[in-house]
Amino acid sequence: MSKSSTSSQGSLTCGLDRAAKENKPTTIVVFGASGDLAKKKTFPALFHLYQRKLLPSRISIIGYARTQMSSKEFHKRATSAFGSDADTTSVEDFLKLCTYVSGKYDVPEDFQALRTEIEKREQALECDTSSDRVRVYYMALPPSVFVDVATQIKHNVYDGSCTNRVVIEKPFGHDLESSRTLSTDIGALFDESEVFRIDHYLGKEMVKNILTLRFANVFYEAVWNRHYISNVQITFKEPFGTEGRGGYFDQFGMIRDVMQNHLLQVLSIVAMNQPESLGAEDVRDRKTEVLRRILPIQLEDTLLGQYVASADGSKPGYKDDSTVPQDSITPTFAQCVLHVDNDRWRGVPWVIKAGKALNEAKMLIRIQYKDMPNALFPNLARNELVIQVSPKESMYIKTIVKEPGLSTNLAMSELDLSYKTRYHDVNIPDAYATLILDVLNGDHSNFVRSDELDEAWRIFTPLLHQIEKERIAPKPYEYGSRGPEGAYQFVEDRVGYKRTELEYHWEAPK
């Protein structure tokens, strides 16, 4: 098979049921099985794939954690986020695949016991050591134990005669130096082809759709450049605060928690040039190429905020959490301007914004086009392409039209693709289900490569160190507001965003 035909087997073209059809004996070990991430995301995602018959029939799922639990207690916890409408028979059948092993994360004997359990269950799957087996080690764990667990896996569980895949959750380090140390430590244990660094935003439906939107439609790609685009905004908003997890969040802050990973990954897909194919490495090459052309973010191009109690006092401020230091300068809101120094984007400012305790839940990409040159009509509004990633997947183009009837007045309307109204019977899976399926299929397209990670930290580390060294105080903003004072004006003053002079409000489908 030629290189081009082989590399085209990316996530957009490969059969979703490839792992199920190949039906290789597969073991998934979920480390941190007693934690919230495993309970809320990992096990529901595995159950979703089971219901869709996308898991191999010869599969075993093993939960591993320090917590002492009986099988009954583990099963209850693993299914607690499945929802009351989950089919009882399907749940019971799924749990027959699942077992639990308790052990520490740095004790060789505990991992040797885990290996014994894996081998016992592989034998029950009617496979032998010469068969083509797959082992997936999913680390739903805090970063402090990544290397300990990876070391124990390699020395006491790893089997070179089968396919081994290691799944690592963010955060991947705290800055450039710590990220490189982590990459070096993991790289000394596993080949890069065995490592899957999860950024769950890469598994979201609308983010996965960007490649198709751009490179399967001639009219989008024709105007996807500095000649037509004025500015790009990528926005993440949460309507709740840290909710008792302030002490944990304070170690990271909004820049590390959301911007350096989720939003920058989205930016790289929006900004990348067309890859040679849809193969994983071709796609990741193009993403990394864009990241290398982004200049480090400057403090003067940044607005920081930290939420205080709501106006009516019903919602607490960030530092009202007893686990948060009273002198904390950790931002719960950040807005930054980035510049991509290449021929496609030179001169186009990119704004990424993320905040907690804001007025709504929303994640969207807003691409604003330039004014019409030599326009017959007054420049009352600019065209915009808006891709809403969540909560209601949709895409619309803000378009100027004539008001219907005898009037010659201009009006702002939209060309609208809302998934809920267009695709009535489609159940869009959670991003974790999509990414776990990619792991089972051996597809790296939607995972972060080590050089991507290195470039992402290069962009943000100088800013993070300056904020911490100079103790830059974030601006206060009320819980439930739009953000700190100046946030709304920021995009107008710093990047030239132009608000419409025509009355307009887009409404998501009910």
| Catalytically annotated residues | 262
CB 269 within 8 A of CB 207: yes
Helix (H, G, I), strand (E, B) or coil at 296: coil
Cis previous bond, 171, omega within 30: yes
Position 264, amino acid: L
d(CA 377, CA 129): 73
Q: Please report the DSSP string for 463-500 in residue order.
A: HHHHHHHHTPPPEEEETTBSSSTTHHHHHHHHH-----
Q: List, in sequence order, every residue forming a beta bridge with 358; answer none if it has no partner.
A: 481
The Cα angle at residue 247 between residues 242 and 253, in degrees rounded to 5: 65
In this structure, how many other beta carbons lie within 10 angstroms of the beta carbon of residue 25?
A: 23
CB-based contact 176:182 (threshold 8 Å): no
Strands 302-308 and 333-339: antiparallel
List of residues 6+ apart from 483 with CB closer than 8 A = 305, 333, 335, 353, 355, 358, 477
Nearest to 284 by CA among 275, 293, 295, 271: 275
CA-to-CA distance for 431 and 209, rounded, in angstroms?
13
- Please state the separation of Cα 173 from the chain's center in Å: 16
Nearest to residue 314, comparing CAs of 237, 241, 236?
A: 241
User: What are the structure tokens assigned to 193, written together?
Assistant: 């082809």
Residue for token digits 């993320």? 354
Looking at residue 138, its amino acid is: Y
**What burial class does residue 119 get, using C-beta atoms within 10 Å of its C-beta: 0-12 exposed, 13-18 middle, 19+ buried?**
middle
Phi, psi of 113 (to 5 degrees): -65, -35
Number of residues in the chain = 510
Secondary structure string (H, E, C) spanning 303-364 = EEEEEECCCCCCCCCHHHCCCCCCCCCCCCEEEEEEEECCCCCCCCEEEEEEECCECCCEEE
For residue 296, whether the previous peptide bond is cis, meaning omega lies within 30 degrees of 0, is no
**Region of residue 141 (phi > 0: left; psi between -120 and 50: alpha; otherwise: beta):** beta
